[in-house]
């Protein structure tokens, strides 16, 4: 379908088109389309822009990845359909491995996703030949590679489910999630939850990593100062401000203003 650039929902519709194409090519499963819808709903409320707290989490995530000994980015069908080039570029910037991990795993689908990532520039993609299992995780999602996710110290899990996030955290890994739903078990369990849309979050984290690469002091400072609870508190405050804006009038409905307007309390 040809979508004119002037369409007010152009970006969102283009992402849908990518997912539908991915579904036609056997990369995305129907359940993935539904999961995307859940993300879209949250993005609507968030204003379809990266919030300030998400930027803070993205910068911290970049710092942890740059300091990691064995960082790995986990890729599923939706991620491969939406952002294969961004994944590859980001992995190169932070010297991370890439491993495909699927909830609905079939060998054909695995091979198609690996092919997509290779076409996007990846030289080495793990996942086709798992040689380990993530402990206490049912199903084929537990399959992993010792040289990849199983042996990693920092793992990026975009659009993940809560069980696997929890299992990876239990293994002692630093888990960076990308999930628009701040209430998901993934966001709740991850070490660094990035509550942002995937195709915005990946380039943001890549840009931060590029900037930070030559600044070890700042990397150390970010790793020390990041607090998940404070970051999530700030995110919920942002959401609260968005919802109040929606309730009180159209002025603050879309986008993120430079400085949040002060909302009058009933006692003012």
The footprint of ligand ATP (CB under 6 A) covers: 35-36, 38-39, 42, 82, 159, 161-162, 178-181, 184-186, 197-198
Could you list the beta-strand ranges (E) of the chain: 71-75, 97-100, 125-126, 132-133, 143-144, 154-158, 174-178, 192-194
Sort strands 143-144 and 132-133 into parallel, antiparallel or unpaired: antiparallel
Residue with smaller CB distance to ligand ATP, 1 or 34: 34
Residue with smaller CB distance to ligand ATP, 179 or 206: 179
**Nearest distance from C-beta of residue 20 to ligand ATP, angstroms:** 14
Sort strands 143-144 and 125-126 into parallel, antiparallel or unpaired: unpaired
Give CA–CA dist 262/268, Å, rounded.
11
**Nearest distance from C-beta of residue 224 to ligand ATP, angstroms:** 27
Residue nearest to ligand ATP (CB): 39
Helix (H, G, I), strand (E, B) or coil at 80: helix
**Nearest distance from C-beta of residue 233 to ligand ATP, angstroms:** 20
Residue with smaller CB distance to ligand ATP, 46 or 88: 46
Burial classification of residue 113, based on how many CB atoms lie within 10 Å of its CB (0-12 exposed, 13-18 middle, 19 or more buried) = buried
**Nearest distance from C-beta of residue 30 to ligand ATP, angstroms:** 12
Enclosing H/E stretch for 177: strand 174-178
**Nearest distance from C-beta of residue 195 to ligand ATP, angstroms:** 8
Residue with smaller CB distance to ligand ATP, 91 or 167: 167
Residue with smaller CB distance to ligand ATP, 52 or 263: 52
Paired strand residues for 71: 154
**Nearest distance from C-beta of residue 215 to ligand ATP, angstroms:** 28
The answer to whether 100 touches 217, Cβ cutoff 8 Å, is: no
**Nearest distance from C-beta of residue 83 to ligand ATP, angstroms:** 8
Crossing angle of helices 52-67 and 198-212, rounded to 10°: 50
Residue with smaller CB distance to ligand ATP, 155 or 219: 155
The answer to whether 72 touches 91, Cβ cutoff 8 Å, is: no
The DSSP letter of residue 265 is P
CB contact set of 146 (below 8 Å; sequence gap of 6+): 131, 132
Residue with smaller CB distance to ligand ATP, 184 or 191: 184
């Amino acid at each position: 379908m040809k979508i004119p650039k002037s369409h007010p929902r152009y970006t969102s519709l283009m992402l849908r088109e990518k997912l539908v194409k991915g579904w036609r090519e056997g990369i995305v499963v129907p359940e993935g389309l539904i999961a995307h819808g859940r993300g879209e709903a949250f993005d609507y409320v968030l204003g379809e822009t990266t919030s300030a707290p998400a930027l803070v989490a993205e910068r911290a995530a970049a710092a942890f990845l740059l300091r990691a000994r064995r960082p790995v980015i986990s890729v599923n069908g939706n991620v491969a359909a939406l952002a294969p080039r961004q994944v590859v570029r980001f992995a190169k910037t932070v010297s991370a491995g890439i491993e495909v991990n699927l909830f609905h795993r079939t060998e054909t689908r695995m091979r198609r996703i690996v092919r997509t990532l290779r076409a996007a520039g990846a030289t080495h993609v793990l996942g086709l030949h798992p040689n380990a299992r993530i402990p206490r995780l049912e199903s084929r999602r537990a399959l992993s590679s010792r040289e990849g996710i199983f042996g990693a110290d920092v793992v990026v899990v975009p659009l993940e489910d809560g069980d696997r996030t929890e299992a990876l955290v239990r293994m002692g890994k630093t888990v960076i999630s990308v999930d628009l739903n701040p209430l998901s078990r993934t966001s709740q369990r991850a070490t660094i939850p990035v509550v942002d849309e995937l195709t915005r979050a990946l380039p943001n984290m890549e840009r931060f990593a590029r900037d930070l690469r030559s600044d070890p002091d700042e990397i150390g400072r970010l790793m020390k100062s990041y607090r998940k609870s404070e970051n999530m508190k700030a995110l919920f405050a942002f959401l609260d401000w968005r919802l109040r804006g929606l309730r009180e009038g159209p002025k603050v409905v879309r986008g993120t203003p430079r400085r949040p307007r002060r909302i009058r309390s009933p006692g003012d």
